[in-house]
């Protein structure tokens, strides 16, 4: 897996975290004060990058968390067939298929460049350039 280890207290809204094996973007952070017999707790609420599912993680503020390594790339569309686009990475010349999101269907056509997000072995089309 392409993840790094980090501390829960270093998280900020808009950063990425792995919850239940799924890469997520943090949308809300809540922390409690340290008690008499324990450390401060953090409630991390995040939305899945690939499935838009809301997930919650409860950890001590000094607890370890997994942070996904997210890469953004620009690729070129070679062909479009239905809701699948065949794209090529211009640096490595790797060719693979991506599912076209509904909101991008009208803009996607052969020859255009698109921005993708890649993490943990999965890829997703973000926007058309």
Instruction: Give mean pLDDT, residues 118-129.
Output: 90
pLDDT value at position 22? Answer: 93
Alpha carbons 44 and 26: distance in angstroms, whole number? 7
Q: Taking the model in full, what pTM does it have?
A: 0.83
pLDDT value at position 111? Answer: 87
Average per-residue pLDDT for the chain = 90
**Nearest one of 71, 83, 76 to 117, comparing CA atoms:** 71
Least confident of 59-68, 78-87, 102-111: 102-111
How many CB atoms neighbour CB 11 within 10 A? 21
- Written as six digits, the tokens of 126 are 């973000």
Which domains can be identified in the chain, with CATH numbers?
3-68 (2.30.30.30), 71-128 (2.40.50.140)
């Amino acid at each position: 897996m392409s993840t790094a280890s980090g501390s829960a207290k270093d998280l900020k809204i808009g950063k990425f975290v792995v919850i239940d094996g799924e890469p997520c973007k943090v949308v809300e952070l809540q922390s409690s004060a340290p008690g008499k017999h324990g450390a401060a707790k953090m409630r991390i609420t995040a939305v899945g990058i690939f499935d838009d599912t809301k997930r919650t993680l409860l950890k001590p503020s000094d607890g370890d968390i997994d942070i996904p390594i997210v890469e953004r790339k620009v690729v070129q569309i070679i062909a479009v067939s239905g809701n699948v686009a065949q794209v090529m990475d211009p640096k490595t010349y790797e060719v693979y298929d991506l599912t076209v999101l509904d909101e991008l269907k009208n803009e996607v056509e052969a020859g255009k460049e698109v921005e993708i997000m890649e993490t943990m072995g999965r890829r997703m089309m973000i926007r058309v350039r």
